[in-house]
Structure 1
Amino acid sequence: MQIVAIVTGISGVGKSRLLAKVMRKSQGQLLVASDLIADELSMRGERAVSRDKLRELDITKNQRMFAAGFARRADRTTDLIVLDAHVVIDTPRGLEPMSADVFLNIGANLIVFVEDEPERILKHRIKDKTRQRPVRDLDTLREQQTLAKSVAAGIAKNLEIDFHVISSGDVAALKDVLRTPGHIR
């Protein structure tokens, strides 16, 4: 059985760093939702947009582009596909939760929520000069993380799939959750 694992958490929590460490020796496939969306928009002849600018576009359209990009790029011959994604988008209009349907449509059967102390998330966001995230204070990041965790749990419940919460940087915990024979060492 193929595992399609969604690894989520708010921007700056360290998902990408954690996934790079865990997936380095993996037999599975790692996909990044923002890359799928940007690639799909580009393939359809739309102007190039950075991953940080995607939040400013129509979220419903982005979800369609995400699903189309996933369908096009997912390796259905591997037993493990890990998707670095968000379940709540910090848009200029406010926080917008993702629909469970988009995760149902790609066959997600596991959600892992990565969390950390808001103080550490804020430090990561300030230090990361490669990204253009909205400026948020500690209370806002705390609220955003609480909402994102609740949305992720709700999606898992709606889809009747496993849901796990792990701490940022906990390589062993993520390996354990994703462990399938021969795929994560």
Structure 2
Amino acid sequence: MSQQIVAFTGISGVGKTTFLRRLAKLIDFQHVTGGSLIAAAREAAPEARDAIRYADLDDNQRLLVQGFALTRDPNSELVVMDGHVVIDDGQELAKISSEVFRALGVSVMVHLETEPERISANREGDTSRSRPTYPSDILLQHQLISRLHAQAVADSMAIPFYIVTHNDTEQLARLLVAK
């Protein structure tokens, strides 16, 4: 069996987990999140995942790869890693190296995008998380930086890159099943 590993990316609050819950109703896959992988490798409580963004980036990425190795189900034909290509620590956007995605064995890069107003509303509405808040123009800029970096990562790895919106669940399901 050849396992397909998809990096499902987008900025914090774009709705990645919500999108993937809808996708799970259409196709079978193992869903893992970057924060939970790092927390698993750190042996940290899941509620501590927001504080992870302020930890050393290189250490976090090493732990992400380690957590993926611990968590990935080798019997799953499709694994979707819900995460980021840029990390917002409240002061800057740090870009994740393509080497991290290479170490995970990513074969497809998908970037979820939506209107900045929706991102802002998602961030404000999710009281279980602590994320930086920004005006719409900054969120739009962050989303563009994330998209461009996701594209650069995919290009450097010579893997397919797709941009999706919340209206593209069925199209992504068909695409991933066809691979």
Give the TM-score normalised by structure 1. 0.90
The residue correspondences of 1:27-38 to structure 2 (distance < 5 A) are: 27-38=28-39
Q: Which residue of 2 aligns with 1:122?
A: 120
> CA offset at residue 25 of structure 1?
5.4
Is the contact made by 1:28 and 1:79 (CA closer than 8 Å) also made in structure 2?
yes
What's the offset of the Cα at 1:174?
2.3
The partner residue of 1:98 within 75, 83, 96 is 96
1:56-95 aligned within 5 A: 56-95=54-93
- 1: distance between equivalents of 2:155 and 2:94? 19
Q: How does 1:1-185 map to 2 (within 5 A)?
A: 1-24=2-25, 26-42=27-43, 50-180=48-178
Does the CA-based 8 Å contact 1:115-1:167 persist in structure 2? yes
- Give the letter aligned to residue 83 of structure 1: M
Contact 1:5/1:83, CA 8 A, preserved across alignment:
yes
How many pairs were matched up? 178
In structure 2, stretches of 5+ residues that fail to align are none
SS at match of 2:8: strand
What do residues 114-136 of structure 1 show as CA deviations (whole Å, max 9, x unaligned)?
A: 00111121122112222110111
> Hey, which of these two has a bigger chunk of helix by percent?
2
CA contact (8 A) 1:13 1:168 kept: no
Percent identity of the aligned residues? 34
Q: Distance in 1 between matches of 2:177 and 2:147?
A: 22
Q: Distance in 1 between matches of 2:148 and 2:36?
A: 25
Q: Give RMSD over aligned pairs.
A: 1.7
CA contact (8 A) 1:9 1:15 kept: yes
Task: Tell me by how many angstroms 1:77 deviates.
Answer: 2.1
Structure 1 unaligned spans of 5+: none
Question: In 2, are the aligned partners of 1:14 and 1:169 still within 8 Å (CA)?
Answer: no
* More displaced 10-residue stretch of structure 1: 19-28 or 46-55: 46-55
TM-score (norm 2): 0.92
CA displacement at 1:173 relative to structure 2: 2.5
SS in 2 for 1:70: helix
